[in-house]
Amino acid sequence: MIPSVLKGKDPMTPPPKDSRNHPGYAPTSMQLLGKVWSISLSFVLAAVAGALLGWLVDRYTNIRPVGVVVGVAVGLIAGGIRFVRDAKCADAEALERPGRTPPK
């Protein structure tokens, strides 16, 4: 007879459910902090990416300050749009958690 330790997992056993789908799930403070950092970092990186693209345009077209200024402006606008969209999404997820009510 083979010991149960050596048998391994039963292939017919269903995988464990994701704990986030259970009612009453509340994310930890580190998970919330990670979401906040990812939202803010995406805003900053959009501005940096716009500046880099503007710098490349300036470098190859010889219109020095215009490309960087336009690139930063476009990056800030794109980052702001993404920031608002992600913040709304995070707030909607937070309102779905039990015990949280919308502000009055």
Looking at residues 40-60, what average pLDDT do you find? 95
Reduced 3-state DSSP string for the chain: CCCHHHHCCCCCCCCCCCHHHCCCCCCCHHHHHHHHHHHHHHHHHHHHHHHHHHHHHHHHHCCHHHHHHHHHHHHHHHHHHHHHHHHHHHHHHHHHCCCCCCCC
Q: Please spell the DSSP secondary structure of 30-46, one letter per residue.
A: HHHHHHHHHHHHHHHHH
pLDDT digits (tens, 9 = 90+) for 71-94: 999 999 999 999 999 999 988 887
**Two structure tokens written together for 95:** 């309102």
Q: Residue written as tokens 């020095």? A: 64
Which pLDDT score is estimated for 95? 80
pTM as predicted: 0.69
Which of 11-20, 27-36, 58-67 tops mean pLDDT?
Answer: 58-67
